């Protein structure tokens, strides 16, 4: 399994986390999504590398802004 960490701006509550989680879970290969509202982070576990463009599109679809990928 591969763990990816992303910064996401604009999330303030559990509903925000649910929207982001739901959209990211649709990406092929994603096995888990953990949203950390306190630190504006999303931790995504997958069975393969993920294209940053796919994650950005999912976060955009949820109505939030991907601010970057952490390594």
* 69 C-beta neighbours (distance < 10 Å), count: 14
Domain count, the chain: 1
Q: Determine the Cα–Cα distance for residues 59 and 67; give it in Å rounded to an integer.
A: 10
Note the pLDDT tens digit of each residue in 4-53: 999 999 999 999 999 999 999 999 999 999 999 999 999 999 999 999 99
What CATH code is carried by the domain that includes residue 11?
3.30.70.100
Q: What is the pTM of this model?
A: 0.92
Q: Determine the Cα–Cα distance for residues 47 and 36; give it in Å rounded to an integer.
A: 21
Domain of residue 34, residue span: 2-70
Q: Determine the Cα–Cα distance for residues 70 and 43; give it in Å rounded to an integer.
A: 10
Counts of helices then strands in the chain (DSSP H, E): 2, 4
């Amino acid at each position: 399994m591969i763990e990816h960490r992303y910064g996401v701006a604009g999330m303030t509550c559990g509903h925000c986390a649910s929207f982001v989680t739901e959209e990211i879970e649709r990406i092929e290969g994603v096995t888990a999504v953990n949203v950390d509202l306190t630190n504006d982070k999303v931790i995504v576990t997958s069975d393969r590398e993920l294209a940053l463009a796919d994650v950005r599109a999912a976060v955009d679809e949820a109505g939030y802004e991907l601010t970057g990928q952490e390594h």
